[in-house]
Amino acid sequence: MDCLFCAIANGEIPSTKVYEDDQILAFRDIDPQAPEHILIIPKQHIKWAYDITPENAGVVAHIFATIPRIAKDLGIEDGFRIVNNCGDIAGQSVKHLHFHLMAGRPFGWPAG
């Protein structure tokens, strides 16, 4: 399968990693939209949030259980924003489930 984030997860394409374990990888976004902009992905290919199921939701829970550690390791102390874009209408450009962890500036709400 031709998937950019699968290629990053298996090391075929380099990335600046900030956290990795057997299930997930966190790396710096190539086009950061905030002073800290990290992408957190499951290593297994899940296309988008529509494909989260009771069977694979454990890896999503693991991502969220790891976000506080990633934030603290990066020295993020004043809050952050987590974003998931699901589908073209929401701006999902890479069809491998990922969560944006963004910090270091104020964020407006509602998000555009």
Instruction: Assess contact for 37 and 29: CB atoms under 8 A.
Output: yes
Does 3 engage in binding with Zn ion (CB under 5 A)?
yes
The least CB distance from residue 103 to Zn ion, in Å, is: 25
Residue 7 Cβ, how far from ligand 5GP at the closest point, in Å? 9
Q: Coil, strand, or helix at residue 4?
A: helix
Using rule CB under 5 A, residue 94 touches Zn ion? no
Catalytic residues: 98
**Rule CB under 5 A: is residue 59 a binding residue for Zn ion?**
no
96 binds Zn ion (CB under 5 A): yes
Summarize as ranges the residues that interact with ligand 5GP (CB under 6 A): 4, 15, 27-31, 39, 85, 91-94
Handedness of CA 72, 93, 15, 61 (dihedral sign): positive
CA 54/CA 76 separation, integer angstroms = 31
Asked whether position 98 contacts Zn ion by CB under 5 A, the answer is no
Query: Tokens standing for 3?
Result: 């998937």
Place of tokens 């407006």: 108
Q: What is the binding site for Zn ion (CB under 5 A)? A: 3, 5-6, 45, 96
